[in-house]
Structure 1
Amino acid sequence: MSKNAIIIGSGIAGLATAIRLKAKNYDVSVFEANESPGGKLSRLESNGYTFDAGPSLFTLPSLVDELFEISGEKPDENFKYYKKNIHCQYFFNDGTKFTAWDDQDKFINEITEVFKINAKSVLEYLDKSKRKYELTSPLFLERSLHKVNSFLNFNTLKAIASANNLDLFDTLDEVNRHHFKDPRLVQLFNRYATYNGSSPYKTPGIMSMIPHLEFNVGTFYPEGGMYSITDSLYALAKKKGVKFNFNSPVDRIICKNGVVEGIITKNEEHSADLVVSNMDIVPTYRKLMPDQKAPEKTLSQERSSSALIYYWGIRKQFPELDLHNIFFSGNYKKEFTDIFDHKKVPDDPTIYINITSKEDPEHAPEGCENWFVMVNVPPNSGQNWDEMISITKKRIISRLNKFLDADIEKLIETEEMLTPITIESKTSSYMGALYGAGSNDRNAAFLRHPNFSSKIKNLYFCGGSVHPGGGIPLCLQSAKIVSSLV
């Protein structure tokens, strides 16, 4: 007789966990508060424009392919993607423009020409990035850090033996300044701290392993946009018999005598042999288990950054832009001081623009582009967001006008918006933080909540607010870890 599993939330980690448990012959039911799956990985349509509303960068597609493979399906028949030949277009405050090519020869030629740097220096940095990733991934990303047996294997001992080469005791900025003399290159490689919502001036130097995923492995684009990841995994889960309950917020997790017994929704009890919460770990304890002793030290950790996102339908096409575009601030350190120390929107924010109509023209009317315009901001702690939104929009438009020699405001045909407040209300992400707890601490990986409860049997956790962290690849890894623990 098969066992019954309940998943709370259908974000990317919840979908992946449902698929993995179904492959282990569990009867799986997913309860989702919203009317559709995906969590942050959602889609927005407005006046003929289509936007990927959440995550916009796709790396390590093999983690998605694996879900089809373990389900007995062929990935390329169900989920199609391709490798991008340009990772990102960079625009610096001094007028420098840089194209990060996927082709290594083109990339090296471009970076040496633009920054007048020795190619060997860049290749050494990326090689070290790769070695850090390969040393630490088996421990920090693929296994639970909260089980003793995770540390009793060759890969862990190898990583510990190489600890001096992992830059654990320097900040990412210190690592990059030591390696690169050009402040523009330091800024370029410092930006990878934002991939987990942290500051390059505080997060440990081991985060310099992140560029490996782009420059050595590659960036990819799923046909149809990022939401096609949600679509394909939802279709796979349904095909395999996972039951979905939408518009069904969970009120309580039922725990008796240290064992999970199910959930309560709309005054109705649903029994289960195990429960997996894909909800942010803070509201999981505060709202769903108020009678259980919460790990206060873990829940009180500093939150990661959040975002202000403007979805603009632009009545023009800009050939100098690509899928991913970064417009750097003039004072990067002050930007992160504003976010993490002063808890305010930066006066001079770095601007990220994602344009999926570059890859899928049907995402915008003919001759137009769909701009996802994002700046990093602090999580919500009671700031005057109405004022900040208005001021920030003016600053963004003013800077883009200079970079692109255009009057952007006159080109905006439609506008939608996402703020820390709406991020929290739509996805239950505590304080609107994009990645749960922040990573401005060298011990951050060990401080994140584990993927299981040490006090309540058969209760598990997946998603960006728990180990190993936020972002699509890590959320998929969290599902894999949960499956291995069950």
Structure 2
Amino acid sequence: MAEVVVVGAGVGGLACAARLAAAGHQVTVYERSTVVGGKLGRRVVERPEGTYRFDTGPSLLTLPQVFDELFADLGGVTPSLVPLNPVVRHVFADGTVLDSCADPAEFADRIAAALGTEAAADWQGLWRRAGRVWDASWRDILRRPVDSPTALAGLAWRLGDLAAVAPGQSLRGLGRRRLRDPRLRMLLDRYATYTGADPRRAPAALAAVPYAELSFGGWYLPGGLGALGDALLERCVALGVSVHTGTTVTGIATGGGRVTGVRVGTTFVPADVVVSNVDALTLYRDLLPTPRRLARLSDRSLAGFVLLLGVAGRTPALAHHTVFFPADYDAEFDAVFGGRPAPDPAVFVTVADDPSVHPPGHEAWFVLVNAPRHGVGRGAVDWNRPGLASAYADRVLSVLAARGVDVRDRVLFREVLTPASLEASAAAPGGAIYGTAGGLLRPANRGPVPGLFLVGGSTHPGGGLPMVALSARIVAEQIGPA
């Protein structure tokens, strides 16, 4: 039996802690925040008209089978999930509306109705290729360690898989070659942002992301996805994990060529194994005895600007998830990755038809736009600059109004969460939503010294709830049973 310390109680940290406890290890979790869940944040607002509950992090769960396996392995059951149809409503600048769904044939019919039969045929061709990418990724990448580009290249892909993955081609390039309708290209581009990346530089292999979402569906957890963190905490406690919130790990100690423990404030806590659920950049830069930044860690990862709105009345034009695209998507990416808030961004609106998250006759809106990271220097914005957040919130509401959804006279209250807010609340450098190491290849799950492991969205296999849960499985398997 190993003494294991997990640094951070995000979904990856909790899932890994529970798996290791179930395998017979003695596990302790330290979390700097007073609550668990990491980026799976929640906000409750009490108002005279009633209570509003917001998810301030993920609002969509995909690949539910990953969580079914996780909770089954932990002796529990997955919290009840509700399938979404549409998964996402896409509203384009010309007013065209396209609802995605988890039935490929039905989605092709919807594309034909909205964009024409040629567009539907193009999408079906892309879909077949994306399916091959997904199959290769699921079999060879997402559930096993990938420690280097050499290891990635050495996987036992068949020639057809290699052709589908198209090494060296961007997601944007794939869309231009396969999709004639610019609106479908825009829809495909958006999936690069799921990894915090620019579609013009993101690998074509990310076509697997829409395939996974639209094959296995998008799901909602009644009451909000924050309850997933509660369910994982309950499993941890039941399995004997000791969880300490409001407790900051200030360093990771090594000796004799391996990990020896962690420092909690000025106190040394011995450990045979340390699992880091903090961002990989923070780990390598701040917590190791000899700080260093991995060359492949990138700060060119999207952050997010969020509005939490209490809205009077109902808005029938909205689905659970609705994205309003700009006329010029490139202008948005040029601005965001150039360190400027985009004046005309894509706007993603989540409005859950769930009476437990809003008062009767009202709505709780989560509004997200891509944003430059918080900080100083090239590509960053100081989001704490007086007046900036409020002015940009006004701009986002004006953009929504210009696209046909003007709720400015119905907003009862608003709260603004900037990249600086996420950096402060979840220790996410610059407020990066999906971890600083955006893209396909991320830092390895095994750290640079024996006994150190990484889980979470900034490490392999990537960001998003199912990928984070898979990283926990990979690490638990590498550590092994007691």
The alignment's TM-score, normalised by the length of structure 1, stands at 0.91
Residues 419/187 of structure 1: CA separation in 2 closer, same or farther (3 Å cut): same
Residues 251/160 of structure 1: CA separation in 2 closer, same or farther (3 Å cut): farther
**1:128 is paired with a residue of what secondary structure?**
helix
CA distance in 2, matches of 1:295, 1:232: 34
Q: Is the aligned partner of 1:277 residue 2:273?
A: no
Residue 166 of structure 2 aligns with an amino acid whose one-letter code is D
CA distance in 2, matches of 1:173, 1:152: 22
Q: Is the aligned partner of 1:329 residue 2:326?
A: yes
Q: Is the CA contact 2:279–2:436 (under 8 Å) kept in the aligned structure 1? A: no
Q: What whole-Å deviation, never above 9, does each CA across 1:1-57 have from its counterpart, x for those lacking one?
A: x32111000001001100111121001110001111000002101122100110112
Instruction: Look up the match of 2:144.
Output: 143
CA distance in 1, matches of 2:140, 2:40: 27
Q: 1:270-309 residue pairs with structure 2 within 5 A?
A: 270-289=269-288, 291-299=289-297, 301-309=298-306
Deviation at 1:398, TM superposition (A): 1.5
> How many pairs align?
468
Deviation at 1:260, TM superposition (A): 1.0
Residue 428 of structure 2 aligns with an amino acid whose one-letter code is S
Q: Is the aligned partner of 1:203 residue 2:210?
A: no
Q: Is the CA contact 1:13–1:463 (under 8 Å) kept in the aligned structure 2? A: yes
Instruction: Look up the match of 1:461.
Output: 454
Q: 1:53-452 residue pairs with structure 2 within 5 A?
A: 53-73=56-76, 75=77, 79-118=79-118, 119-146=120-147, 156-159=155-158, 162-289=161-288, 291-299=289-297, 301-340=298-337, 342-356=338-352, 358=353, 360-382=354-376, 383-385=381-383, 386=385, 387-406=387-406, 408-439=407-438, 444-445=440-441, 448-452=442-446
Q: 1:41-60 residue pairs with structure 2 within 5 A?
A: 41-47=40-46, 48-60=51-63
Residue 485 of structure 1 aligns with an amino acid whose one-letter code is Q
**2:339 is paired with a residue of what secondary structure?**
coil
CA distance in 1, matches of 2:148, 2:397: 49
CA distance in 1, matches of 2:443, 2:346: 30
Deviation at 1:160, TM superposition (A): 6.0
Deviation at 1:206, TM superposition (A): 1.2
CA distance in 2, matches of 1:397, 1:473: 31
**2:243 is paired with a residue of what secondary structure?**
strand
Q: Is the CA contact 2:132–2:164 (under 8 Å) kept in the aligned structure 1? A: no
Deviation at 1:317, TM superposition (A): 0.8
Q: What whole-Å deviation, never above 9, does each CA across 1:142-178 have from its counterpart, x for those lacking one?
A: 111128996799xx32256632221222211111121
CA distance in 1, matches of 2:476, 2:158: 24
**1:164 is paired with a residue of what secondary structure?**
helix
What RMSD over aligned residues (CA atoms) do the two structures have, in Å?
2.1
CA distance in 1, matches of 2:117, 2:284: 51
Deviation at 1:109, TM superposition (A): 2.3
Residue 41 of structure 2 aligns with an amino acid whose one-letter code is S
Structure 2 gaps, min length 5: none
Residue 455 of structure 2 aligns with an amino acid whose one-letter code is C
Residues 380/297 of structure 1: CA separation in 2 closer, same or farther (3 Å cut): same
Deviation at 1:236, TM superposition (A): 1.1
CA distance in 2, matches of 1:9, 1:111: 43
CA distance in 2, matches of 1:396, 1:293: 39
Deviation at 1:438, TM superposition (A): 4.6
Q: Is the CA contact 1:276–1:462 (under 8 Å) kept in the aligned structure 2? A: yes
Deviation at 1:384, TM superposition (A): 4.0
Residues 258/295 of structure 1: CA separation in 2 closer, same or farther (3 Å cut): farther
Instruction: Look up the match of 2:463.
Output: 470
**1:394 is paired with a residue of what secondary structure?**
helix
CA distance in 1, matches of 2:158, 2:60: 28
CA distance in 2, matches of 1:391, 1:417: 11
Q: What whole-Å deviation, never above 9, does each CA across 1:62-112 have from its counterpart, x for those lacking one?
A: 111212211233x25xx1113222111111111112222334444222210
Residue 292 of structure 1 aligns with an amino acid whose one-letter code is T
CA distance in 1, matches of 2:454, 2:312: 44
**1:55 is paired with a residue of what secondary structure?**
coil
CA distance in 2, matches of 1:124, 1:105: 12
**1:135 is paired with a residue of what secondary structure?**
helix
Structure 1 gaps, min length 5: none
Residue 371 of structure 1 aligns with an amino acid whose one-letter code is W
Residue 206 of structure 1 aligns with an amino acid whose one-letter code is A
**1:192 is paired with a residue of what secondary structure?**
helix
CA distance in 2, matches of 1:378, 1:464: 18
CA distance in 1, matches of 2:82, 2:405: 32
Residues 412/65 of structure 1: CA separation in 2 closer, same or farther (3 Å cut): same
CA distance in 1, matches of 2:202, 2:109: 30
**1:126 is paired with a residue of what secondary structure?**
helix
CA distance in 1, matches of 2:7, 2:235: 18
Residues 453/150 of structure 1: CA separation in 2 closer, same or farther (3 Å cut): same
CA distance in 1, matches of 2:131, 2:390: 41
Q: Is the CA contact 1:125–1:179 (under 8 Å) kept in the aligned structure 2? A: yes
Q: Is the CA contact 1:16–1:479 (under 8 Å) kept in the aligned structure 2? A: yes
**2:82 is paired with a residue of what secondary structure?**
strand
CA distance in 1, matches of 2:105, 2:450: 53
